[in-house]
Structure 1
């Protein structure tokens, strides 16, 4: 209560009752050493972030990351690879000092030391200047980490034919596949195979896709009767004529997907 001025209420004792203009402090006494956080410093950060974001989006549009098909547990020749941003860690595990009995060093110790050092860089180099030559420790650690990641990524990717791999593992969207459900072979497929291989032959958790298979008609018939991999034998229940209709149906679907 102030005499003659009425009563003032505030919801938080930390909030001033008097409105203050939102004007940054005057740093003219410290030329070139510091500046106002808002809007000077924050605006620069936003501009740098915007340039990086636009460049990254342009790169993804020009060179989209290839998608691979559904994993096939029956294909023992398939070599899985991590996404591109983990290739440097994948390459690290190929060296003797970070693999085999020393795998924990490559998985935990070395990456932990590297990322921990980058986190501690601002605390290890507390110089007042912001130019690179005035922050040798922080800048040196950042350049060393960047060079290591780029080199390991290059070493890992240079041994893979990415275009051939992407073409061989290209997923086939179900919408692009025409399946004739009036085909007599589809009714046989529905009763013998659909529960595992899916309605559109695109596979499921327990079985691979039948689209894109490299098996011949004779091999498909043999697999239906004798099984393969985790697929047990005698899964097909029907006559020889029905088996032929089933095989013809699967082959015709694959021909239409090419």
Structure 2
């Protein structure tokens, strides 16, 4: 059969027609609803980011950072305080059933459940409505998270001993302490380090001994008789000769 003028091609409806690439409509067809990503949208994002960056830089220049003295591993009485965005977790670890023998609950279980709920949010609530009342699961979860984080952060700031924290973190003048001397050995043997710190700068419950101009007689009296109610009597355990040696050492370090 020769191809001629009267030949017709008939398509079989049972064979699906392969759809080609359908380009999306141009953004200009949606007036006031969308815009080009480059440069319109991206430029606006950069401008907003630049404003926040400049504002942050101005705040860091205007406000002096709250620096503290160098960390001392011998300071057993130091009260730590994390940055503000971790205060709620810090407060959580103060409760009986989230710390101590139950620390796994406060460090792993509760944060794990919170982050797990956040990861599963798209499957827990698959509604398309934007009204909060129409999406009770997502709304309730978000409200619980906001209230919990806000309350724990507030409680952490209220219960923290800011006065003691300011004293223990205060930057003081460095002094050269001969830690190999007999006086420092007596200072350490009588457990003075736990209150006054290894550098004698008040890293624990006790005050700093640096720059106080303490007299040897006063140091000996305090070491033997104490200072109620913070320091009990009988802290020093040694002979009178050792007490005099300790007092002279502390007095020498305390000179301005």
Q: Residue 158 of structure 1: SS of its match in structure 2?
A: helix
What is the match of residue 166 of structure 2? 166
Q: Where does the alignment leave 5 or more consecutive residues of structure 2 unmatched?
A: 1-24, 188-192, 203-207, 222-236
Q: Give the superposition deviation at 1:103.
A: 2.7
Secondary structure in 2 matching 1:81: coil
Matched, 1:70 2:42: no
Q: Does 1:40 align with 2:30?
A: no
CA contact (8 A) 2:183 2:249 kept: no
Aligned to 2:200: 210
Listed one character per residue, the Cα deviations across residues 65-111 of structure 1 (whole Å, up to 9, x for unaligned) are: 453553363654x4333333321001122345534554322211221
Contact 2:209 2:254 in 1 (8 A): no
Residue of structure 2 equivalent to 1:115? 115
Q: Retained in 1: the 8 A contact 2:220–2:244? A: no
Distance of 1:240 and 1:80 partners within structure 2: 33
Question: Could you give the per-residue CA deviations for residues 151-209 of structure 1, whole angstroms, max 9, x where no partner exists?
Answer: 211111111242552134312253xx6x7xxxxxx8xx486279999xxxxx9xxx711
Contact 1:71 1:208 in 2 (8 A): yes
| 1:16-165 matched pairs, under 5 angstroms | 26-57=26-57, 60=60, 61-62=62-63, 64-65=65-66, 67=68, 70-71=71-72, 73=74, 75-76=76-77, 78-121=78-121, 144-165=144-165
SS at match of 1:87: helix
| Conserved? CA contact 2:79–2:165, under 8 Å | no
Alpha-carbon spacing, 1:135–1:59, altered in 2? closer, same or farther (3 Å): farther
Unaligned runs of 5+ in 1: 1-24, 180-185, 198-202, 223-232
The higher radius of gyration belongs to 2
Would you say 1:192 and 2:181 are equivalent positions? Answer: yes
More displaced 10-residue stretch of structure 1: 37-46 or 208-217: 208-217
CA contact under 8 A between 2:184 and 2:246: conserved in structure 1?
no
TM-score by length of 2: 0.52
Rate the CA distance shift 1:151–1:90 in 2: closer, same or farther, 3 A. Answer: same
Aligned to 1:251: 254
Rounded Cα–Cα distance in structure 1 between residues aligned with 2:46 and 2:54: 12
Cα distance, 1:251 vs structure 2: 2.3
For the aligned residue pairs, the C-alpha RMSD in angstroms reads 5.0
Count of aligned residue pairs for this structure pair: 197
